[in-house]
């Protein structure tokens, strides 16, 4: 358990970066060096920043429950989801036993030698869904950088059978901690941030300060851009296209505050197009090297409304992923309990 | 919210039943009449006994968190699961992007027009699993009786597209309440109850009494038989075969105590073979008519060990199902938080 | 084997029909009565007009092979297929073992106890595709009319487990016969017929006559509209939208000529929008009642080019469907052998 | 097109090999050198021995059709197939629209905006099957040896998206040629060869001679062991276990005769356990280097009965695989036309 953060330092150390920055690679490698947690919890570790969440943090999380309400943060998993098709399709269920079978007499006798139906009937179905197709957590085997993944393991451990290490199943049961909502859209007074708009550490600090809430080691940071609400239903390129999101320059901030999980209402947490000439550089720094759990396409609308109403932006977040052995991620029935 | 239970009565009202009972149908219909909640929360209700869990119950649940630990109750979802194949296969992930692709150069350039890889790589996968293949919750559209499902809706609402009513998505965000573990195997001093052994209300009461814990309206009852532990790995007919479990005569007890959810470490909650000449009669009474949420194939081992160690059998149960629109059930990343 | 056609009569018996026709139902039922083959081959029959193809027909088909070439009529099955997503997605393969696994060393040792790789490697994959998503044959269980399917069987025999009768597996090995191409687009001198343009018997007769080819009992009729070529790549609503195709008034002609299979380069054989106030009325008449095998989304381009070049429009058609037990249809690797 | 075989030589050149052979690797590499077709049809070739089948061969194939019968060689694709589960499951169809939906009124109105049903109904389904799970052809991208596949292409071209070269789609439309059945079980007077029993070139020659049939360049060789019939229904380890089959020493024979395709009624063509210390060495020699198409789990029973009855062991084989872009293999609706 890490309760203290010896790396903390002033925000102004973040270097100014512009699109014409000639030193993208230098910046990326500097952030990697600054933010890496490789080896911090031993060379065998497969859970990254979940190490930051221990009994004290979970008791603190439980103490945020004051109203006794549970708010779901998960989009419906169905054919109306955000995926445009192709590489990642939307979730489907295939019905293998139906009520219409039952009412048509096709379930009498029952299957599997269960005998005469005598009025009994049932439905059954098979779920088919890309693990990254809707509200989901990334595993620490989801992203690679130069042939390595979290904790310096070789990417080649992730073959056609799934991840032999760092799979999503390692996170099951662990994503239970205090969460803090940062509603950037509300702070800016807009319905939604626009694609390409980055969220910088200064703004996060300003929002936390104005709302009178602090984040501590092991907390989950939930950042609302409003983009999911703006695109809901007519998704367009919501999944995979340009999007607002966290700046790469959030990486040192996340590391200094020892944030355990970072969640947004966008497809990829970070701003797109990316700010430097690397694809998803915040993933490279904070997930691959930092071991921070990323949560994507969370539906933060009901939570944001509740927080706006009662002025309380903290809650217990329970977002345990399914133990999909070797999985790159998992759908998650996330709840904020206040 | 229902805090009081006006139907409560003495246990001895349960009629003696033997395999030679000539009046199976009478008994079943009597229990249906006694235990039905149809219409109790309005004719539009799709969540059944989740109505019993409100703010007071959730605050009470939160107050059970004293140690700050989270215990997973979910079996791994993979090819080593309990299913024998056929009707319900074990979960699979299909890898659509791999670390070996990355290390072999097959991800450079990145797909979807994301440009040169510059060191970046990723994995991706598709989950294919019967919703009832592992640790799972039943929806209120999963079981039918004489053409009807929960709250008197026609079974024909569940066609090849899934459930147009009572689907599992209605329960998402709601399965958050106080849970109480009843370790029948420990009480009997056996590793596991044997197939065919039924658990009667008297025994549940005796265990609760001996452990000094009470159950109240809205609580979830988690009953451990030890059968999952006994069969784990070499599953045989664990899923679908004979099993220990709750007696049909638990139905009035569940109704009188206004239990919101009943969970076991077996495939079907109730004892198999069934005690009367109907298939899964407790499902007929308590799920179809009672609207009680059933949880099956939960891994209660770590929880039972912890409860044995600290003598505390209550906890906050968070077992929110995925919002699989129209689904007959859902895998669930259930946690007991103590 | 039916070699003679006692129902033949002059084309002019076809009634004039307009969109304002007040007697759609009368027309439909008249055609059903005129064209039905229910009972013709016994009450147990599950193969319909495949009964028309026997040894003599197959020998005649073989005699059309003069050049020794085999022309594929099947579109690639992949994500570039004609489906817009949703109800029917395009075919996918999920790779379960890859060459990149092999070159990364992830296949050494081999799986399944096969021991050290010693240089050996392999790929493997899983096919996921709607049976009606690309070039495909309809089974005689694919379409229902007023609760019945081919040969007066109840539609309720087709439940969530597939068709208990009339499934596509019945046609396996049988779709081997003489085929005749009718290139309507070439005859009209257009690249493609337009959506809504119907093909009437008179035009079929005129084309056959001008090309000097006859059709006989048991033959397959392959009708090219050019629509697949026109839409290929940028499919739009090709699958499911408006389309050129056979007129409903082809039904008596198909019946009189005892055509065994009718194939087009469109998604649904018949013209869309339909000519009367019933959905896919030619399916109702000729498939449900006539027992004629329908082939859809065939790629007739290479075949049409070859026929134009050598002036020979007849060939051996081999289009045996996969024996998908209970299937509503099947992808098919159809070839025209000339 | 290759009509003549300049490599032909006497059978006695095959070296004697025993289980104690100390030079497995030498033997394997000698056979590779002797049998390789890499570069024979150009460095771009992706169809291997299908180059051996041209117009003359197809006309010769057509001339074998004398009775006008079509015999299916394909096992049903369903849950009763030979796979034991796990890595390769048996084929499944998932019903997405059913007759019970239709009779229950759940298809009125029709989906997709097709309006009022007016009596119309339909079924639809999705096929899910490993391409190697039943009767199937291997692609030339299915097997690798020391990082290479057919025609010296790198195995890394086969990633999680499928084969970028040598995929099964290259063979679509081409597997149409003269086939010759060699019924080894009948020749030996046994119901089935036993697992581990190898078939050597001398025996093939003896059977061909005794039956008065010859094989020529471009022909397909179909070898019946009886093993599929013996195991049918109670498959046990039929798929993946020990099996009778072709000896590795068939490789030079296949090359000398320029056989285009080799087919058996076993899961893997060659004898198991393998005769030398390499896994599936005949695949390494004849598929990877020879470019010969392998067909597996063909149901040769009806064909063998017919050949026994009429004394004619030659036929036209049509076994065109589905054009599954990048696939490692394909189910195939194979027919023998006599």
The pLDDT tens digits for A47-91 are 999 999 999 999 999 999 999 999 999 999 999 999 987 778 999
CB contact under 8 A, D96 and A101: no
Residues 6+ apart with CB under 8 A from B224: B181, B182, B183, B184, B185, B186, B264, B265, B300, B304
Phi, psi (deg, nearest 5) at residue D77:
-100, 100
Residues C182-213 have pLDDT tens digits of 999 999 999 999 999 999 999 999 999 999 99
Neighbours of B14 (CB within 10 A): 19
Residue D12 in any domain: the answer is no
CB contact under 8 A, C89 and A86: no
Structure tokens at A96: 């293998």
Chain B nearest-CA distance from C57, in A, is: 40
Same domain, B251 and B294: yes
CB contact under 8 A, C98 and A160: yes
Domain boundary, last residue among A69, A101, A128: A128
- pLDDT of amino acid A39: 98
- pLDDT of amino acid C85: 77
Helix residue ranges per DSSP H, chain A: 24-35, 55-63, 99-103, 184-188, 201-211, 227-231, 250-256, 281-282, 301-310
Measure the CA–CA gap between A253 and A280, rounded to whole angstroms. 17
Measure the CA–CA gap between B189 and B212, rounded to whole angstroms. 18
Chain D nearest-CA distance from B97, in A, is: 5
Residue B173 in any domain: the answer is yes
- pLDDT of amino acid C21: 52
Residue D66 in any domain: the answer is yes
With beta carbons less than 8 A apart as the criterion, state whether B298 and B73 touch.
yes
Q: Which residue has the tokens 């055609």?
A: C31
Number of residue pairs across B and D with CB atoms under 8 Å? 43
- pLDDT of amino acid A7: 37
| pLDDT band for position B22 (cuts 50, 70, 90) | low
Contact status of C123 with chain B (Cβ, < 8 Å) = no
Residues C163-176 have pLDDT tens digits of 999 999 999 999 99
Q: Considering CB atoms only, which of A59, A98, A328 is closest to B158?
A: A98
Residue C70 in any domain: the answer is yes
Same domain, D242 and D281: yes
Chain A nearest-CA distance from D76, in A, is: 20
- pLDDT of amino acid D8: 36
Contact status of C78 with chain D (Cβ, < 8 Å) = yes
Contact status of C100 with chain B (Cβ, < 8 Å) = yes
Phi, psi (deg, nearest 5) at residue A26:
-60, -45
Contact status of C86 with chain A (Cβ, < 8 Å) = yes
* Residues of chain C neighbouring A98 (CB-CB closer than 8 A): 159-160
Among B95, B159, B328, most D C-beta atoms within 10 A, so best to mutate, is B159
Number of residue pairs across A and B with CB atoms under 8 Å? 337
Same domain, D142 and D123: no
| Pairing state between β C198-199 and C245-246 | parallel
Residue A178 in any domain: the answer is yes
- pLDDT of amino acid D1: 30
Same domain, C118 and C265: no
Same domain, A195 and A250: yes
H or E segment to which residue C220 belongs: strand C220-224
CB contact under 8 A, D95 and A95: yes
Same domain, C122 and C243: no
Contact status of D54 with chain C (Cβ, < 8 Å) = yes
Q: Burial, C28: exposed, middle or buried (Cβ in 10 Å; 0-12, 13-18, 19+)?
A: buried
Residue D9 in any domain: the answer is no
Structure tokens at B175: 């399965």
Phi, psi (deg, nearest 5) at residue B157:
-70, -10
Please give the average per-residue pLDDT across C308-316, as a whole number.
98
Residues 6+ apart with CB under 8 A from B124: A87, A88, A130, A131, A132, A142, A328, B95, B96, B97, D160
- pLDDT of amino acid D87: 72
B-chain residue closest to C105, CA distance = B100
CB contact under 8 A, B111 and A75: no
- pLDDT of amino acid C219: 98
Contact status of B278 with chain A (Cβ, < 8 Å) = yes
Residues D88-132 have pLDDT tens digits of 899 999 999 999 999 999 999 999 899 999 999 999 999 999 999
- What residues of chain A score a pLDDT lower than 50? 1-17, 19-20
- pLDDT of amino acid A85: 77
Contact status of C165 with chain D (Cβ, < 8 Å) = no
- pLDDT of amino acid B257: 98
Same domain, A228 and A98: no
Same domain, D200 and D288: yes
C-chain residue closest to A99, CA distance = C160
* Residues of chain A neighbouring B316 (CB-CB closer than 8 A): 62
Q: Burial, A102: exposed, middle or buried (Cβ in 10 Å; 0-12, 13-18, 19+)?
A: buried
Same domain, B113 and B74: no
Quote the ipTM score. 0.93
Same domain, D108 and D222: no
Residues B278-307 have pLDDT tens digits of 999 999 999 999 999 999 999 999 999 999
A-chain residue closest to B155, CA distance = A99
Mean pLDDT of chain B: 94
| pLDDT band for position B2 (cuts 50, 70, 90) | very low
What total of structural domains would you count in chain D?
Answer: 2
A-chain residue closest to D126, CA distance = A94
Q: Which long-range contacts (CB under 8 A, 24 or more apart) does B108-112 make?
A: B110/A279, B111/A87, B112/A87, B112/A240
Residue B8 in any domain: the answer is no
CB contact under 8 A, D96 and B156: no
Contact status of B103 with chain D (Cβ, < 8 Å) = no
Residues B186-237 have pLDDT tens digits of 999 999 999 999 999 999 999 999 999 999 999 999 999 999 999 999 999 9
- What residues of chain D score a pLDDT lower than 70? 1-22
* Residues of chain A neighbouring D160 (CB-CB closer than 8 A): 160
On the CB side of C46, how many CA atoms lie within 13 Å of its CA?
Answer: 19
Q: Given a contact as 3+ CB pairs under 8 Å, which chains touch C?
A: A, B, D
Neighbours of C246 (CB within 10 A): 28
Whole domain around residue A122: which residue ranges? 92-128
With beta carbons less than 8 A apart as the criterion, state whether C244 and C269 touch.
no
**Residue C31 maps to which CATH number?**
3.50.30.50
Same domain, A38 and A58: yes
Residues C231-286 have pLDDT tens digits of 999 999 999 999 999 999 999 999 999 999 999 999 999 999 999 999 999 999 99
Measure the CA–CA gap between B195 and B210, rounded to whole angstroms. 25
Same domain, C32 and C70: yes
- pLDDT of amino acid A33: 98
Measure the CA–CA gap between C208 and C189, rounded to whole angstroms. 16
* Residues of chain C neighbouring A122 (CB-CB closer than 8 A): none
* Residues of chain D neighbouring C288 (CB-CB closer than 8 A): none
Q: Considering CB atoms only, which of D84, D157, D160 is closest to B95?
A: D160
Residue A10 in any domain: the answer is no
* Residues of chain B neighbouring C97 (CB-CB closer than 8 A): none
Structure tokens at C135: 């070039």
Chain C stretch 219-258, residues whose beta carbon is closer than 8 A to a beta carbon of chain A: none
């Amino acid at each position: 358990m890490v309760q203290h953060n010896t790396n903390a330092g002033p925000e102004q150390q973040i270097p100014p970066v512009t699109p014409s920055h000639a030193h993208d690679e230098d910046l990326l490698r500097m952030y990697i060096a600054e933010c890496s947690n490789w080896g911090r919890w031993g060379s065998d570790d497969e859970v990254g920043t979940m190490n930051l969440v221990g009994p004290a943090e979970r008791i603190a999380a439980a103490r945020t429950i004051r109203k006794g309400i549970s708010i779901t943060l998960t989009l419906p998993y169905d054919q109306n989801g955000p995926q445009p098709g192709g590489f990642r399709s939307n979730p489907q269920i295939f019905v293998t036993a139906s009520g219409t079978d039952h009412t048509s007499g096709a379930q009498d006798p029952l299957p599997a030698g269960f005998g005469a139906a005598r009025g009994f009937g049932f439905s059954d179905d098979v779920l088919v869904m890309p693990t990254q197709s809707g509200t989901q957590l990334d595993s620490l085997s989801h992203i690679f950088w130069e042939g390595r993944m979290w904790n310096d393991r070789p990417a080649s451990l992730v073959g056609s059978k799934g991840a032999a290490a760092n799979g999503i199943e390692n996170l099951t049961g662990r994503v239970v901690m205090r969460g803090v909502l940062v509603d950037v859209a509300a702070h800016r007074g807009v319905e939604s941030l626009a694609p390409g708009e980055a969220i910088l550490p200064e703004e996060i600090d300003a929002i936390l300060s104005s709302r009178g809430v602090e984040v501590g080691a092991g907390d989950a940071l939930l950042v609302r851009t409003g983009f999911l609400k703006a695109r809901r239903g007519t998704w367009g390129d919501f999944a995979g296209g340009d999007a607002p999101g966290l700046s790469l320059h959030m990486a040192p901030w996340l590391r200094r505050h020892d944030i355990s999980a970072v969640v947004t209402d966008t497809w990829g947490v970070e701003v797109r197009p990316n700010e430097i000439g690397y694809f998803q550089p915040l993933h490279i720094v904070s997930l691959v090297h930092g071991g921070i759990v990323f949560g994507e396409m969370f539906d933060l609308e009901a939570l944001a409304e509740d927080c706006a109403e009662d002025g309380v932006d903290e809650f217990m977040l329970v977002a345990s992923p399914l133990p999909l052995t070797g999985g790159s991620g998992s759908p998650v029935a996330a709840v904020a309990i206040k």
